[in-house]
Amino acid sequence: MRTAIVLALLVLAVVVAPAAHAVDTQRCGSVRVDRTLRPDPDADFGAFAIRARNTACRRARRLASIYVRNPRSDATAPRRIGRWRCTARTIDDQVQRVRCRLGERRVSFRNVLPSG
């Protein structure tokens, strides 16, 4: 009887443990800006495909907006926005893949840069 109870508890622990460590990933839309980096809902530039893991979409969009609206001359150098650490990798002529992290929290997005 004890063996059956111990086995049942072990099976329950194996089934419940992955659910306790499930990652909360959300798709958060985009933050669009015009050529002068002002907000514009119809623009072709800005942060697209924003994803947030273990943080709220509102915070992820705000972080992406700050990143996009404050460009640096060395676009791929790691940078900090508050306590968040962000890195970028150029994947096309005017497109970067940006990843930001703060502890277990993650935000990622595609940064489409205005030309010239």
DSSP output for 60-80: HHHHHHHHHHS--SSTTS-EE
Torsional class of 15: left (φ above 0), alpha (ψ -120 to 50), beta (otherwise): alpha
Q: Tokens 């933050």 — which residue?
A: 31
pLDDT along the chain (116 residues), means of 10: 54 49 83 93 95 98 95 85 96 94 98 85
CA distances from 81 to 13, 70, 78, 84, 107 (A): 39, 10, 10, 5, 12
Report the predicted TM-score, pTM, of the whole model to 2 decimal places: 0.76
Residue 21, C-beta contacts closer than 8 angstroms, at least 6 positions apart? none
